[in-house]
């Protein structure tokens, strides 16, 4: 099964200048909870922004460039085949989300209640893609958060 997880602003922005455009400790904890002990798939730019493999997860990178040293790389077809055997979580970036949207069955979306100026990466538009909301929880900004947020769980 394919699952996506991402945080976006109120306009769907997920990135700016190769990084997250906010500091949301509560969302990072949510991300960890939803991805721990699973296979996570990301594009090369997301891999570069992390700087290291995320612990206690199988880290897989998709890239059009030469395979990266020290990390497992897969093609679209290989990721799809793996998703038939286990849950695979797509963690970004924008191109990777768009590539797998049609095959995704579940989305964990955090809406960060802000609007990022000059954002350069966006989540795919899921408005007419058959997803429906099954759970939603609004959370105030915690001690280490810049903004309030809403955690959503969508399926199709």
Q: What is the model's pLDDT at position 69?
A: 79
- Secondary-structure class of domain 2-155 per CATH: alpha beta
% of the chain with per-residue pLDDT over 90: 90
Average pLDDT over residues 104-128: 96
pLDDT digits (tens, 9 = 90+) for 41-88: 999 999 989 989 999 999 999 988 776 778 899 999 999 999 999 999
**3-state DSSP assignment of residue 143:** coil
């Amino acid at each position: 099964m394919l699952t996506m997880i991402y945080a976006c602003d109120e306009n769907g922005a997920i990135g700016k200048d190769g990084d997250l455009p906010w500091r949301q400790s509560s969302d990072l904890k949510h991300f960890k909870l939803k991805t721990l002990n699973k296979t996570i798939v990301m594009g090369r730019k997301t891999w570069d922004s992390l700087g290291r493999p995320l612990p206690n997860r199988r880290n897989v990178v998709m890239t059009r460039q030469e395979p990266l040293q020290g990390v497992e790389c897969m093609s679209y077809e290989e990721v799809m085949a793996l998703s038939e055997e286990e849950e695979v979580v797509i963690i970004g970036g924008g191109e990777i989300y768009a590539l797998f949207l049609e095959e995704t069955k579940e989305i964990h979306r955090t809406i960060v209640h802000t609007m990022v100026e000059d954002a350069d990466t966006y989540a795919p538009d899921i408005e007419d893609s058959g997803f429906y909301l099954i759970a939603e929880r609004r959370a105030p900004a915690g001690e280490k958060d810049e903004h309030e947020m809403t955690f959503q769980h969508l399926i199709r």
